[in-house]
Structure 1
Amino acid sequence: MTTLTLAQASIMVDTALKTAREKNFAPLTVAVLDAGGHLVAFKREDKSGILRFDIAFGKAWGALGMGFGSRTLFERAEKAPMFFTSLAAASGGRVVTNPGGVLIRGADGDIIGAVGISGDTSDNDEICAVAGIAATGLSADPGGSKS
């Protein structure tokens, strides 16, 4: 099984932020977690709000915890709100169900981590996460109808 390295995580963060600046998105906060949910790399742009880390981490952590990108969490939450209320309680409020939590898959298809981004719209956060993962040659899995 492939493991996520600090070098790869750093490329993901820097590429995500570069993509955001090229597209003139709002200031972002980016968190990269390994398969065990441990923070590997993190950056918060100037003027990104103080809650953005918790949201970015929660998007990535929720994707890892459930085994699919946060776009799928978002779609399922609309259909089963009671389950996701229970999921929020069971996770101590750590799961964030908005798009922008993208799984990182190794060459063998195994999940090796996740990128979570917060700061702009959820769709734009997801665009930057996918770009960051793609820059390393690994596969991005945002979940939902976009995967």
Structure 2
Amino acid sequence: MATIGLRKARTIIRKALEKAREMELKPLSVVVLDAGGHVIAFEREDGASPGRFDIARGKAYGAVMTGMPGSALRDRAEAQAYFVNALNGLWDGKMVPVPGGILVRDGRGNVIGAVGVTGDTSENDAIAGMAGVEAAGLTGEA
């Protein structure tokens, strides 16, 4: 089974932050999780609030644990808030169901992890994160 190694995780973060600077976004925080929801790597830009780690991890955690990107989780939360709230209860409130949680798949379509980006609008967070995933040669779903 393919995994996201530390080298690729660092590439994802570096390229996501480069995209954010190109887009002139607010300071971002980016986390990369493995397929089990464990942190591989994290960076918080100067000026990003300290609480951003938990938000980034929550976005990525929701994506990897459900197999759905943040945009789909947001849509599901709007349509079935009771279900998403129940999941979040099961996972001790670790899920943040909004864009910026990017599901990462290998070439065969297997989930190998997730990326969580936070600091600007959720939509801009997702754009920056996807740039990082693609730069690492992986497939992302935002």
TM-score in terms of structure 1 length = 0.94
Partner residue, 1:130: 130
CA offsets 1:28-86 (integer angstroms, 9 cap, x no match):
00000011111111000011112111000000011011011111000010011111221
Q: Partner letter of residue 87 of structure 2?
A: L
Partner residue, 1:24: 24
Q: Partner letter of residue 102 of structure 1?
A: I
Q: Partner letter of residue 37 of structure 1?
A: G
| Matches of 2:108 and 2:115, distance apart in 1 | 18
| Matches of 1:136 and 1:89, distance apart in 2 | 33
CA offsets 1:74-126 (integer angstroms, 9 cap, x no match):
00100111112212211111010010000111111111110001100000000
| Matches of 1:74 and 1:40, distance apart in 2 | 25
Q: Partner letter of residue 140 of structure 1?
A: G
| Matches of 2:70 and 2:87, distance apart in 1 | 13
Q: State the aligned residue count.
A: 142
Partner residue, 2:10: 10
Partner residue, 2:60: 60
Q: CA deviation at 1:137?
A: 1.1
Which aligned runs of 4 or more in structure 1 are off by greater than 3 angstroms? none
Partner residue, 2:43: 43
Q: Partner letter of residue 64 of structure 2?
A: L
The alignment-based identity, stated in percent, is: 46
| Matches of 2:50 and 2:2, distance apart in 1 | 33
Structure 2 runs not aligned, ≥5 long: none
C-alpha RMSD of matched pairs (Å): 0.7
Structure 1 runs not aligned, ≥5 long: 143-147
Partner residue, 2:121: 121
